[in-house]
Amino acid sequence: MVQRKSFYLVIAVLIFGGLYLWAGDNASFVDLGFSPDGRVYMFAQYGVESRTLRPWADLGVVDVPRNNFVSGGRVSYTHTDTVVPGQDGSGALFRLITQNSTLADRYGINFLRQGQPLFISLETSNGPGDGGETIEFRDFQAGSSYKATLVPTLEGYGANLKSSFIINVEKTAKDGSKRSYTVGTPQIKRPLISSYRVRKVMIAPQDGSLIFVIEMKKPGEEGFDLRYMVEALKL
């Protein structure tokens, strides 16, 4: 009994140090793939609640051209029991995917048709930050280059904090021609989100649409909680 209690204490310390279910933990993002025509994208995130040690998972299905969830495309699951030694919460994700297999079948999601990474951020930060940043990356296969600037907007302070963001994207084609895009929904004000960061950018295997994986940071009991969302850009 003492050994088991010690394990849970260590796990809780690691998690604290280390669309929204806020439970004082850091989520793991999962790319689940595209439909054959690249118009629908599925992703997930999972983790362990630091307060209750219960594993949880979220599943999302996105209409890429509309940059919005398909009808019924947001589902979540939190297990009633706590994790056991060696578990990372991924069991909740597996159960959620199994329970919603018809959702993937309906939109023809192929788990093997995942996005090709064009940008991955390895930067880590334990502070709040403002989330504003400019990144540059290339699609070597197409010969295109991109510059993307995340522009956050914060309103209020403390418990009244709300925020939103947009991403301004400039694409330079192989022939040197340029085109600009803006992605995001600035009219959505997310409570208590203190910063945003682009953690990953992927390109669809079929039509070249871009998927921006955005890390959201929210003050927790100790440190900051992390969750993910995506923004889709049909090129």
The per-residue pLDDT of the chain, averaged, comes to 86
Of the candidate ranges 23-27, 81-85, 227-231, the one whose mean pLDDT is the lowest: 23-27
What's residue 144's pLDDT?
96
Grade residue 25 by pLDDT with cuts at 50, 70 and 90.
confident
What's residue 9's pLDDT?
34
Which two tokens mark 174? Answer: 């192989």
Of the candidate ranges 50-54, 73-77, 122-126, 135-139, the one whose mean pLDDT is the lowest: 122-126
Grade residue 18 by pLDDT with cuts at 50, 70 and 90.
very low
What's residue 218's pLDDT?
86
Grade residue 221 by pLDDT with cuts at 50, 70 and 90.
low
Q: State which H helix or E strand residue 95 sits in.
A: helix 90-99
Nearest alpha-carbon partner for 38 in 184, 209, 225, 228: 209
Nearest alpha-carbon partner for 220 in 10, 7, 15, 6: 15
pLDDT beyond 50 at 44: yes
What's residue 36's pLDDT?
93
Nearest alpha-carbon partner for 53 in 17, 10, 97: 10
